[in-house]
């Protein structure tokens, strides 16, 4: 079933898994150079992208959940843009979500004066979730512990509300909740941009 994934989503998943395996060999050095650190001595510009390919090597479920979400929703989103002749926009969309998540988290870390690395593809994944709900709002999804299937738009709305609540209240302080929200924001901005440019292109034709 995995080979049926469209190529860009497949490449993102393969890259994440490959880096995850590499972390077992030199985890500390990779985290130091490529995780997202607050603005300061440990920060480097490339980290706003590279952090999204790192996961906690001591927590297998961290990468499993992120890659499963990409498998479930990223392929459908990539195929949607492929059918509209805009597959390159899917790449821009994913990395815009990653960048927006990084920018949001840097702002939060700067305000909190916390010096800790941020890792994980969750920013991009939350952008993909928002994109899926935007283009397939009525698709029914079954997500535990919710006992019945619910519409994609409702699921993502609930996720967003929970992330906001957890971020504001400071619960689960080991999770970058505002980065997740930033990823959703970046995804929303890119969708609005695409809709504007696509509408303009169709008008010209």
pLDDT score for 127:
96
pLDDT score for 191:
93
pLDDT score for 123:
94
Q: What are phi and psi of 109, to 5 degrees?
A: -65, -35
| Domains recognised in the chain with CATH numbers | 2-204 (1.20.1540.10)
- Token output for 174: 């080991």
- Token output for 95: 């990395």
DSSP letters, 181-199, are HHHHHHHHHHHHHHHHHHH
Q: Supply the pTM of this predicted model.
A: 0.89
pLDDT score for 173:
67
Contact between 129 and 184 under an 8 Å Cβ cutoff? The reply is: yes
CA distances to 8, 48, 97, 128 from 154, rounded to whole Å, are 27, 30, 20, 15
Distance CA 170, CA 104 (A): 16
pLDDT score for 202:
54
Task: Write out residues in the chain with pLDDT < 50, as ranges.
Answer: 1-3, 200, 203-205
Stated as kind and residue range, the H or E segment containing 141 is strand 140-141
pLDDT score for 200:
45
pLDDT score for 1:
41
Stated as kind and residue range, the H or E segment containing 151 is strand 150-151
Nearest by Cα to 158 from 182, 129, 178? 129
Contact between 30 and 89 under an 8 Å Cβ cutoff? The reply is: no
């Amino acid at each position: 079933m995995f080979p049926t994934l469209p190529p860009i989503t497949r490449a993102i998943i393969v890259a994440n898994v490959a880096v995850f395996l590499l972390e077992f060999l030199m985890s500390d050095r990779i985290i130091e150079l490529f995780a997202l650190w607050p603005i300061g001595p440990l920060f480097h510009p490339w980290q706003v992208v590279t952090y999204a390919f790192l996961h906690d090597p001591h927590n297998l479920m961290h990468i499993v959940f992120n890659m499963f979400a990409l498998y479930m929703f990223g392929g459908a989103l990539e195929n949607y843009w492929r059918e509209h002749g805009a597959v390159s926009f899917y790449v821009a969309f994913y990395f815009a979500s990653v960048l927006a998540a990084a920018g949001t988290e840097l702002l939060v870390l700067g305000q909190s004066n916390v010096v800790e690395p941020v890792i994980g593809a969750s920013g991009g994944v939350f952008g993909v979730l928002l994109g899926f709900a935007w283009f397939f709002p009525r698709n029914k999804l079954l997500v535990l512990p919710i006992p019945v299937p619910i519409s994609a738009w409702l699921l993502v709305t609930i996720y967003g509300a929970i992330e906001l609540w957890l971020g504001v209240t400071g619960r689960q302080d080991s999770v970058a909740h505002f980065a997740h929200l930033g990823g959703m924001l970046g995804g929303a901005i890119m969708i609005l941009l695409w809709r504007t440019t696509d509408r303009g292109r169709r008008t010209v034709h």
